[in-house]
Structure 1
Amino acid sequence: MVENNNINIPWLQALAHGPMTKVTCWPIYFCRGYIFHTYDHGKNKTNANYGVCVKDTSSHGGSTEPDFYGVLQEIYELHYPGPVHLKIVLFKCNWFDSTIGKGVRMNKSGIIDVHTGRRHGKYDPFILASQADQVCYIPYPRVTQKRDQHWKAAIVIQPRGKILMNQNFDSTAIQHSDDNSVISTDLLHVETLVYPHGQTENLEEVEEEEEEEEEEEEEEAGLRSDADDENNDYELTDEESD
């Protein structure tokens, strides 16, 4: 509401007065699934969480890669007094040269390389924390030419809690109305025989024992037949003697 050229909106007046002159500095800040560290805080750590990148808002192209790459130097938290109680977090960054071919290039694998020895020509260090994405600058293990020593691969870090999925992925459940698949079975050769009391015997030994028993029975049957023949012969000789 404007009356007599005076603004009567309290929150707008608070914003117009600007933030407090005293700011809070942080070495670490968590935002949008990223854990950002300032360069001084994270330069000696195993994980390099101080790389940042941001889209060029003036670009209308279809590129999916960020246009500005840099290193996070300071994290400032601004406070707005009054009824709004607004807090804004700003990142102060040192930006690398974004000129294609000089400061940024794409290698044969489709990875963005950044020349860490070239700086952005304009002084524009501040961005909102909500605008920043995180990257990691990885040097190449083998560099044959001196001019390539400052080129590093800028790997975009995925925020925590975010899972990348193919947009063409079909999550519809697959069901078969007619299942006419043929099930093939293979014969399994069992070499042991298990009894209910937990004892096991080799089938080959059982077969050999059965064969031996059959041979013994045949031998006993042969001996019995021979003995009967001898008895018959003996009885005939007695009759002849009479």
Structure 2
Amino acid sequence: MAEELLKEVALGPESQVLTMNKYCVNGFKFQIEEVSRNKKTNNSGVYIQGDVDGTGQTIEYYGVIQKIIKVRYSGWPKKKIVLFWCEWFDPSHRGTKMDHQHNITKVKHTRKYRNYDPFIIAQNAKQVYYASYPLRRDKADWWVVIKSKSVGRTKIDNVLDVAYQNDVAIVQQEVEVELETPLQHPQHILEEVSDELLNVGEEISENEKNESFDDEE
């Protein structure tokens, strides 16, 4: 089965491909730039993490989706893959700047990535929004990158320990056994109650009876 699958993929995709204007994946709704251009919400911004550079930092590529393509392969089971055709900004320090103090990333939208590598797999994409500087003419070529949060997903940094039901049942059983056990002296010494304590108890009972009789009168 695995060999047949590899052969079908090696033969290449079908001649006909399907193009789309939008595609939902990873909790994001992506759209091509042409569709998002005249809308209030822009969903064409995308970024993906690349390799590690010489300084040990992971390179992040920021771009804009131009086309969404679905490629199908022949054979059974049916196989398909969705690709984003993107126009990338220059990932070098001339086109992408990081302000680590304020945690801000800026891209120069007038400077493009020189290499021809437009395609990414849709499942690897994350969404961003680009905000301009409306009051700064000297920064008209720069956009601030705002990373979008996926819908219906929650990112958890700290995971709490799981409490297993079996452990809870064992603890409850031990507590019940301890409550059923009668209280005893640790050295099994039985103490006798003196007659004075018994007389005091009888006097208290007589006083309670007299108080209740007075209340009835």
Give the TM-score normalised by structure 2: 0.67
Deviation, structure 1 residue 96: 0.5
One-letter amino acid of the structure 1 residue matched with residue 158 of structure 2: Q
How many pairs align? 162
Asked if structure 2 preserves the Cα contact closer than 8 Å seen for 1:10 and 1:83, the reply is no
- 1:118 is the counterpart of 2:111: yes
Deviation, structure 1 residue 91: 0.5
Asked if structure 2 preserves the Cα contact closer than 8 Å seen for 1:78 and 1:87, the reply is yes
Determine the structure 2 residue equivalent to 1:29.
23
Deviation, structure 1 residue 156: 0.8
Determine the structure 1 residue equivalent to 2:7.
13
Determine the structure 2 residue equivalent to 1:48.
42
> In the superposition, relative to structure 1, how do residues 54 and 60 fare at CA in structure 2: closer, same or farther (>3 Å)?
farther
2:153 counterpart (162, 185, 201):
162
Q: Secondary structure at the match of 1:57?
A: strand
Q: Give 1:1-242 correspondences, 5 Å limit.
A: 9-59=3-53, 63=57, 67-100=60-93, 102-107=94-99, 108-145=101-138, 148-167=139-158
Root mean square deviation of aligned Cα: 2.6
Deviation, structure 1 residue 60: 8.1
Asked if structure 2 preserves the Cα contact closer than 8 Å seen for 1:32 and 1:130, the reply is yes
Q: Secondary structure at the match of 1:21?
A: coil
Q: Secondary structure at the match of 2:68?
A: strand
Q: What is the aligned-residue identity percentage?
A: 33
Q: Which stretches in structure 1 are left out of the alignment for 5+ residues?
A: 2-7, 173-242
Deviation, structure 1 residue 165: 4.4
> In the superposition, relative to structure 1, how do residues 47 and 17 fare at CA in structure 2: closer, same or farther (>3 Å)?
same
Q: 1:153-175 deviations in whole A, cap 9, x for unaligned?
A: 11111111122445388999xxx
One-letter amino acid of the structure 1 residue matched with residue 86 of structure 2: C
Asked if structure 2 preserves the Cα contact closer than 8 Å seen for 1:33 and 1:161, the reply is yes
Q: 1:111-136 deviations in whole A, cap 9, x for unaligned?
A: 10010010001011011001111000
Asked if structure 2 preserves the Cα contact closer than 8 Å seen for 1:134 and 1:156, the reply is yes
Determine the structure 2 residue equivalent to 1:179.
none
> In the superposition, relative to structure 1, how do residues 136 and 171 fare at CA in structure 2: closer, same or farther (>3 Å)?
farther
Deviation, structure 1 residue 38: 0.3
Q: Which stretches in structure 2 are left out of the alignment for 5+ residues?
A: 164-217
Deviation, structure 1 residue 83: 1.8
Q: 1:18-39 deviations in whole A, cap 9, x for unaligned?
A: 1001100000000010100000
Deviation, structure 1 residue 90: 0.5
Q: Secondary structure at the match of 1:10?
A: helix
Deviation, structure 1 residue 140: 2.1
Determine the structure 2 residue equivalent to 1:175.
none
